[in-house]
Chains A and B, each alone.
Chain A
Amino acid sequence: MTQSPSVLIVEPSADEREVLRTVLARRGLRIWEAAEVERGLELAREHHPDVILLDTEANHAGDDGVQAEFDATSIAQHSSLIILGRISHDHSLPASQVIAKPYHFAPLIHKIEQLAARAA
């Protein structure tokens, strides 16, 4: 049986995690959550999610090194990376996968679904 697509949310705000978790779970996606980047990287390497959502306000996520590590992890695991906030170095990410804050949830959810469907 094929597993449903999965999303890793690395987001320091409990409210935003709750919104994303509630909506994405209802759309049939599997969810992993982390409030901090270290835990986020652990979950990414353990579960190979189809989409990784990284908020740059998570601890140290604004640093070049941390973003580059997520970048490298997502490329190695064929995950799609979405960055919420400002990017700090030259990413290979398409502009549509860098979303400035404050953002609207509907287009973000739509984007996650699109990328997850592509992976599936």
Chain B
Amino acid sequence: MATLFVMQGRDKGKRFDLRGDDITVGRDGSNRIQLNDSEVSRRHAEVRRTPEGIVLADLASSNGTFVNLEKIDQRLLKNGDRVQIGRTLFLFTDADDRSSVNLAHDVDIVGLGNVEGSRILKSVSHESGSQLFAPPDPAESPWLARARSNLQVMYRTALAVSHTLDIDQLLSRILDLIFEWVEADRGCIMLVDHETEELAPTASRNRKGVRVDGKLSISRTILDYVMQHKEGVLTSDARDDQRWNPEGSIVKLGVREAICVPMQGRYGIVGVIYIDTYTPPGQIVQQRAPNKFSEEHLKLMVAIGHQAALAVEDTSYYSAMVQAERLAAMGQTIATLSHHIKNILQGIRGGSYLIEEGLKEEDNEVVRRGWRIVDKNQERISNLVMDMLTFSKDREPELVPADLNETLADVVELMQARAAEAQVQLVLQRRDDLPQFQFDPDLLHKAVVNVVTNAIDACEKREGARVEVSVEHEPGARFVHIVVADNGEGIAAEDLTRIFSVFESKKGSRGTGLGLPVSQKIMREHGGDIRVESTPAVGSRFYLELPTSVSAVVNQTQLP
């Protein structure tokens, strides 16, 4: 499936499916891809499906449409193309656009019997690989030593940028590396702000022990030059080499030098790296040279800038993906909860309407029916809120020695009215030989109520419907089991793994999909779990396992 994924711009993180025929892109609400971008025309471009593939066409927009930085009228899109419309940057992906060559014909993984003559001569671990460039040999030429050192810097840069997906951490590592390698006093990385398209300082560093006066001032002319020409620059206020003599002002005032390089990514400049240094007058005479920065430093900085830019782009893409997933999850959660709340509201409205009708006609029976519906829906919203709170918070159970029979009797008593309404016989098989166990009575009550509620719903109005709550316990066993058994419709094998997933419900408008995940969470917080055995059309047995000797394990809870 072909998609346009927004990597930059106000709609960052959104993914647009390109299914269907001609899809327009623009600012206006009539476009299937509507962009929140003032630099996009009302109807800016069109995505067309052709026999050759997906074509992007500009619709005579004011600011133009660009593919991989090139202005286009019409262009066949390829996997990985970057599409710029206004300030919005898309990544085009097409899952169908891949090589049809079947590599399985060319590559064969052979078994142990076919490796005659092959043996491992040497193996190198990841850690050893990072020592690719050993310290220079004093005997080798200075040129070779410098080349080895530069390669080492590039290798370490590549490693540094590949180990993090946090932009701040990434930039900080790059500055660390630069400061290790070059004698800079101050350094700063500025990234392009996608909203304003201006450079904004994002990370800075001063060399330890170097006195820095005030703010770091960076010449706008230099920045503009670097951004426009996409070239790194080396600057020095020692403008005239002829001044390099013991009487010259340079010797009296010192020299300030700077390197500023673009962070040239795959599709544009993402920022700049700036470093500078100051050589005081005395040191110039001592080192017999006016400069600390050389052309070689500049070249290496350009290479580092490129590496850093690629990493910034990748990190930015990754964070956009994460944001998109978060938004999708949040959207799904809000939609599901809104749906349940809407149904509950509808019930309350219905009950209220009956009460109103009953009062109007002075019919107490209708008032009673209405009130029962209102009351039931108040209970539903209360349960929904409590389940949401339990599910969203990690809390340590308040373990106290408690009587399991008493907690289960409370549950069964509470659920009797609902069971009667559903024409289900609800019974508790007490075990009078049970010792006290350590558990949080309120939480366990909640966990069992949710399972019993499901059991009642599963066999509602079936002939001979019965839900039985019992306890299985052997002296000395690690777990005591609370068993909730019903003779209801049962659960299909393919659904057994899904029933503990949040918002998965087979109960239609009656279920929130929170009950079982909440029960599972509570049992896991106690160090136990829930398991289920079920046969479709015969019934289900839920086992709530409670450790007989526990300490709370709230932090180890793993939810699906």
Contact = CB atoms under 8 A, between A and B. Distances in A.
B353 A23 contact: yes
Interface in A13-50: 13, 15-16, 18-19, 22-23, 26
B540 interface: no
Given A22-B366, A22-B369, A105 B350 contact: yes
B23 interface: no
A13 B343 contact: yes
B508 A105 contact: no
Interface string B380-404: 0000000000000000000000000
A15 B376 CA distance: 9
A106 B354 CA distance: 10
Q: How extensive is the interface on chain A, given as a class?
A: 10 to 19
Interface centre among A13, A15, A23 (most CB of B within 10 A): A15
B508 to A, nearest CB: 5
Interface stretch (A87-95, A96-104, A112-120): A96-104
B346 A13 contact: yes
B347 to A, nearest CB: 4
Contacts of A101: 342, 346
A105 B366 CA distance: 15
Interface centre among B345, B346, B361, B377 (most CB of A within 10 A): B346
Interface string B343-359: 10111011101100100
B366 A59 contact: no
Given A13-B347, A18-B369, A105 B509 contact: no
Contacts of B343: 13, 57
B373 interface: yes
A18 B373 CA distance: 9
A12 interface: yes
Nearest to B343: A13
Contacts of B342: 101-102
Interface centre among A22, A101, A103, A104 (most CB of B within 10 A): A22
A19 B353 contact: yes
Nearest to A19: B350
A23 B354 contact: yes
A32 to B, nearest CB: 18
A100 to B, nearest CB: 10
A102 B345 contact: yes
B508 A103 contact: no
B346 A102 contact: yes
Contact of B508 (A12, A26, A102): A12
Nearest to B341: A102
A16 B508 contact: no
Secondary structure dominating the interface of B: helix
A57 to B, nearest CB: 5
A19 B354 contact: yes
A56 B369 CA distance: 25
A58 B333 CA distance: 22
B345 A19 contact: no
Contact of B509 (A13, A22, A23, A104): A13
Contacts of A103: 346, 349
Given A19-B373, A101-B342, A102-B346, A57 B509 contact: yes
A15 B373 contact: yes
B220 to A, nearest CB: 56
Nearest to B342: A102
Contacts of A15: 346-347, 350-351, 373, 376-377
Contacts of B377: 15
A19 B377 CA distance: 13
A57 B342 CA distance: 12
A105 B345 CA distance: 12
A57 B354 contact: no
A22 to B, nearest CB: 6
Interface string A35-76: 000000000000000000000010100000000000000000
B354 to A, nearest CB: 6
A40 to B, nearest CB: 14
Interface in B488-547: 508-509
Nearest to B380: A15
A27 to B, nearest CB: 10
A33 to B, nearest CB: 14
B369 to A, nearest CB: 6
A-B CB proximity, top 8 nearest? A19-B350, A105-B353, A15-B347, A102-B346, A15-B373, A102-B345, A102-B342, A12-B509
9 contacts: A15-B346, A15-B350, A15-B351, A15-B377, A23-B353, A57-B508, A101-B346, A102-B349, A103-B349
Interface of A: 12-13, 15-16, 18-19, 22-23, 26, 57, 59, 101-106
Given A19-B370, A102-B346, A103-B346, 4 more contacts: A12-B508, A12-B509, A26-B357, A105-B353
